Structure 1
Amino acid sequence: MSGGFFRGTSADQDTRFSNKQAKLMKSQKFAPELDHLVDTRKVKMDVIKPWIANRVTELLGFEDEVLINFIYGLLDGKEVNGKEVQISLTGFMEKNTGKFMKELWTLLLSAGKNESGVPQQFLDAKEEETRKKQAEVDRIAIEIQKKKEKEEESRELERERLKKMLASAIIWVHVLYLKLL
């Protein structure tokens, strides 16, 4: 001890005791969407969870329930920081982490803004799906109507043909009757 001061390094100066999370925050690149915190109380997570499971499976090429449940756990707080979630997922998802987080955060931010708690993308997709189903129902109804009209037209033509045949038969009967007289 010289002059009443300790010699050596403090915990702040020693890299063994540095804040790894803060270092990763500075060193990693984050999508601009991750700058915003998400209030998960405003989001219907039961709508988001299937998307997460499908997207993780799609990106990894296999289903990883442990990772999927880990992500659910990371999103379980009141306000979630996307950058922290990305740092936590980087070891599992590697190069796909940034892409996944940008997509997820876009959905979560959208869901947080909607009163329903459902991302606008999902609502638009459901509306489009409903519109396509309705268009298909309308197309089938038109086909059925056309088929009925063709059948009716066919019946009408058959009636006309039978009337002509009957008229022709009556004429032949009269002709034969007249020949016999």
Structure 2
Amino acid sequence: MAASVDQKLLRSTKFPPEFNKKVDMEKVNLEVIKKWIAGKISDILGNEDDVVTQLCFNLLETTRFPNIKEIQIQLTGFLEKSTAPFCKELWNLCLSAQDNAQGVPKELLEAKKLELYEEMVILQIFCAMPS
């Protein structure tokens, strides 16, 4: 019965156009994506949830070309209204990652560069302070 409900939801849900693009998970650095997933799910739920996080990992890892539409349907009961934005962001990161030679989304690389730059500036300010 659950499968028929999922099929009805797949047909009736409006998905963003990028969900029609395939992602080859062999080109994606899954460890980087998993770290992002764990952090994002914790942010959404307000605490760490290993069950939901592991479910999301499993849904991405079950096939070389996962179906983000099915993943969104599977996660809806857990992430509720945050599911669609989460899946859209996840899919865009995966699409970006498969286009990068290291399999890392450029958005995460840029965020890490900014974080390191900010740490460097703070360290410089701290070191320049008189003792």
Tell me by how many angstroms 1:108 deviates: 0.8
Tell me by how many angstroms 1:32 deviates: 2.2
Contact 1:31 1:98 in 2 (8 A): no
Give the structure 1 partner of residue 25 of structure 2. Answer: 40
Q: Which has the higher contact order (CA 8 A, sep 6+)?
A: 2
Given the superposition, is the C-alpha separation of residues 140 and 67 from structure 1 closer, same or farther in structure 2, using an over 3 Å criterion? Answer: closer
Whether 1:130 aligns to 2:116 is yes
Tell me by how many angstroms 1:26 deviates: 1.6
> Residue 105 of structure 1 aligns to a residue in which SS?
helix
Count of residues in Structure 1 that have an aligned counterpart in Structure 2: 129
CA–CA separation in structure 1 for the residues paired with 2:120 and 2:42: 31
Give the structure 2 partner of residue 83 of structure 1. Answer: 69
Deviations 1:10-31 (CA, angstroms, capped at 9, x unpaired): xxxxxx8x95444222201212
Letter aligned with residue 93 of structure 1 = L
Letter aligned with residue 56 of structure 1 = I
Tell me by how many angstroms 1:119 deviates: 0.7
Contact 1:44 1:118 in 2 (8 A): yes
* Structure 2: gaps of 5 or more residues: none
**Given the two structures, how large is their TM-score scaled by the length of structure 2?**
0.84
Letter aligned with residue 101 of structure 1 = C
Letter aligned with residue 121 of structure 1 = E
* Structure 1: gaps of 5 or more residues: 1-15, 148-181
* 2:13 counterpart (28, 31, 56): 28
CA–CA separation in structure 2 for the residues paired with 1:128 and 1:80: 31
CA–CA separation in structure 1 for the residues paired with 2:125 and 2:50: 42
Contact 1:36 1:82 in 2 (8 A): no
CA–CA separation in structure 2 for the residues paired with 1:86 and 1:22: 12
* 2:90 counterpart (80, 83, 104): 104
Deviations 1:125-145 (CA, angstroms, capped at 9, x unpaired): 12112322333444456x37x
CA–CA separation in structure 1 for the residues paired with 2:116 and 2:124: 12
* 1:65 counterpart (30, 50, 65): 50
CA–CA separation in structure 2 for the residues paired with 1:121 and 1:62: 24
Letter aligned with residue 51 of structure 2 = V
Q: Report percent identity of matched pairs.
A: 41
